C-alpha cells in the first residue's frame, strides 16, 4: 500500500479541485435553466400546458430547473455502480481520470449554449462521467484503517465543503464581473461554466501526475474473480439495505432544498446569482467547519449510528422552518437555520459512509461506494423532481415540508440499524 498520508492528501486536492467546478454550477444552474425556460420551445410549451404550469401563480421555470438537475442525477445513478465496479477491477486512478475529463467536456458544453436541449445534453454527459466521488471515496477507504474511516470520509466531505465555499463565491464573482456580462451579452457564453471546465481538467491532470494507485494487486485480483451485480451484493450484506435507503432519502430531502434554494431566496429576498452564490458559500463554510474539524471530535465521542441519527434529526427540523423565515422576511433567523442543515448533512453523510465501508471487504469498496453514490444519485433524481414541481405548483412551504417528511422517513430507517458494527 502506498503512503497513506500522501495518498489521502493527493485525493483530497483532486476532489477539492473538481468540487470547485461543481460548486460553481449549483447556485447558477436553477436561475440559468429558469431563464432559458422563460422562452420555451414548442415542445416545452406543450409540456407546460399538460402539467398545468401556464397559469397565474405557477413557476414553470422551476420545473425545468428540476429537469436540469434530474437529468444529471439519473445518469449518475446509472453510471456510479459501473464506475465503482470498474475501479475495483482496473484500479482507482484510470477511472478517476476518465471521469474528470468527461466532466470538463460537459461543463464546456454548458458554457457555450443558451438552448435548453444542449443544456440537457451537457448535464447528461456530466452525469455519465460524474461518478468520480465514489471512486475517490473508495481510494480514501483503501488508504485508511477501519477505525479511521469516519475521519477519512470527513476529508472527502471537507473537500466537498471547500468546493461549496469557493465554488459558489467564484460563481457570484464571475457571473457579476464585467467580463462575464460582456461574454454573455455578446456571445451568449457563460464565464462561470468555462472556469468549471478548466477546474475539472486541472483535477484530471492532478490525478495523472500526483495520485498513486491505492488499490493493491491482490484486491484487484479478488475483485476480478467475483461475480454479481454490485447492487444485489450490497443488499445481501446485513445493515446495508437500511443504509442505502437512508442515503437515498436523506439526499432526496437535501436535494429538494438544493434545487429550489435559489428560487426561494429570489422570490422572498429578491436575491440574484451573486447573492445566491454567497449563500451557498456560507453553507460550504459550515460544511468545512464540521467535516474539517468537528468530525474528529464527533467520531471519537459519538458512535456512528448515533451520529447518523442526530444528523437526520437536525436536517429534518431545519428544512420546514426555512420558508417560514423567508416568507416572513426574517433574514437572520433564515441564515441561522443553515447551521443545523449543514452540520446535520455533514454528520449524516460522514457517519453513513463510514458505517457502510466497515460492512464491506476491501476488494468491494469501489462497488460499495458506487452503489452508495447511485442511491444518493437516485435521491438527487427524486429530490429536485418533487421539490421543484411542488414549488412550482404550491410554493416553498409545501416543498420544504415534503423535504422534512422525507428526512423523517430516513430517520425511521436509521433507527432499525443494529448498534453492533464490525471493527
Domain boundaries, the chain: 4-414
Average pLDDT over residues 42-68: 76
> Cα–Cα distance between 98 and 132 in angstroms, integer?
9
- In angstroms, the Cα distances linking 142 to 220, 309, 340, 373 are 12, 26, 31, 17
- Do the beta carbons of residue 102 and residue 132 sit within 8 Å? no
CA dihedral in degrees (273, 331, 397, 327; nearest 10)?
Answer: -100
For 374, the grid coordinates are 447511485
pLDDT at 224 over 50: no
Mean pLDDT across 402-407: 94
State the average pLDDT over residues 69-96: 78
Indicate the range of 8-17, 336-345, 384-393 predicted with least confidence: 8-17
Mention every residue, 6+ apart, whose C-beta is less than 8 A from residue 105.
125, 197
Taking the chain, what is the end-to-end CA distance rounded to the nearest angstrom? Answer: 20
Q: Confidence band (pLDDT; 50, 70, 90) for 360? A: low
Residue 91 or residue 151, greater confidence: 91
Mean pLDDT of 167-173: 80
Cell of 202: 486541472
The answer to whether the CB of 127 falls within 8 A of the CB of 243 is no
Average per-residue pLDDT in the chain? 79
CATH of 4-414, one of 3.30.930.10, 3.30.365.10, 1.20.1250.20, 3.30.230.10: 1.20.1250.20
How large is the average pLDDT for residues 198-208?
84
According to the model, what pLDDT value does residue 382 have? 86
What span, in angstroms and rounded, lies between the C-alpha atoms of 70 and 420? 36
**How far is Cα of residue 231 from the mean position of the Cα atoms in its chain?**
20
pTM for the model: 0.66
Amino acid at each position: 500500500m502506498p503512503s497513506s498520508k500522501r495518498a489521502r492528501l493527493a485525493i483530497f486536492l483532486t476532489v477539492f479541485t473538481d468540487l470547485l467546478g461543481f460548486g460553481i454550477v449549483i447556485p447558477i444552474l436553477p436561475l440559468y435553466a429558469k431563464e432559458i425556460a422563460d422562452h420555451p420551445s414548442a415542445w416545452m410549451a406543450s409540456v407546460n400546458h399538460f402539467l398545468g404550469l401556464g397559469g397565474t401563480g405557477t413557476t414553470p421555470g422551476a420545473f425545468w430547473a428540476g429537469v436540469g438537475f434530474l437529468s444529471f442525477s439519473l445518469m449518475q445513478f446509472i453510471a456510479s455502480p459501473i464506475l465503482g465496479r470498474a475501479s475495483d477491477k482496473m484500479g482507482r486512478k484510470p477511472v478517476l481520470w476518465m471521469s474528470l475529463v468527461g466532466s470538463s467536456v460537459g461543463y464546456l458544453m454548458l458554457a457555450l449554449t443558451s438552448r435548453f436541449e444542449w443544456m440537457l445534453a451537457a448535464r447528461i454527459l456530466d452525469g455519465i462521467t460524474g461518478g468520480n466521488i465514489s471512486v475517490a471515496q473508495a481510494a480514501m477507504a483503501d488508504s485508511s484503517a477501519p477505525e479511521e474511516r469516519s475521519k477519512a470520509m470527513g476529508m472527502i466531505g471537507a473537500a466537498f465543503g471547500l468546493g461549496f465555499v469557493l465554488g459558489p463565491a467564484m460563481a457570484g464573482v464571475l457571473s457579476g464581473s464585467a467580463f462575464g456580462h460582456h461574454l454573455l451579452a455578446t456571445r451568449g457564453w457563460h464565464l462561470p461554466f468555462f472556469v468549471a471546465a478548466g477546474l475539472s481538467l486541472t483535477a484530471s491532470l492532478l490525478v495523472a501526475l500526483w495520485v498513486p494507485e491505492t488499490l493493491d494487486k491482490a484486491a484487484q485480483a479478488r475483485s476480478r474473480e467475483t461475480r454479481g451485480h454490485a447492487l444485489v451484493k450490497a443488499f445481501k450484506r446485513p445493515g446495508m439495505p437500511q443504509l442505502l435507503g437512508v442515503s437515498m432519502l436523506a439526499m432526496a430531502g437535501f436535494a429538494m432544498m438544493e434545487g429550489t434554494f435559489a428560487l426561494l431566496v429570489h422570490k422572498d429576498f429578491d436575491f440574484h446569482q451573486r447573492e445566491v452564490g454567497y449563500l451557498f458559500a456560507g453553507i460550504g463554510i459550515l460544511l468545512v467547519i464540521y467535516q474539517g474539524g468537528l468530525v474528529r471530535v464527533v467520531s471519537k465521542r459519538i458512535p456512528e449510528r448515533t451520529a447518523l441519527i442526530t444528523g437526520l434529526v437536525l436536517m429534518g427540523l431545519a428544512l420546514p422552518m426555512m420558508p417560514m423565515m423567508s416568507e416572513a422576511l426574517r433574514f437572520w433567523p433564515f441564515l441561522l437555520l443553515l447551521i443545523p442543515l449543514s452540520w446535520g448533512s455533514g454528520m449524516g453523510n460522514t457517519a453513513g459512509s463510514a458505517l457502510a465501508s466497515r460492512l464491506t471487504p476491501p476488494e468491494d469498496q469501489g462497488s460499495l461506494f458506487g452503489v452508495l453514490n447511485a442511491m444518493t444519485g437516485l435521491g438527487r433524481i427524486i429530490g429536485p423532481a418533487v421539490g421543484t414541481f411542488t414549488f412550482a405548483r404550491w410554493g416553498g412551504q409545501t416543498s420544504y415540508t415534503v423535504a422534512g417528511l422525507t428526512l423523517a422517513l430516513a430517520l425511521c430507517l436509521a433507527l432499525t440499524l443494529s448498534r453492533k458494527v464490525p471493527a
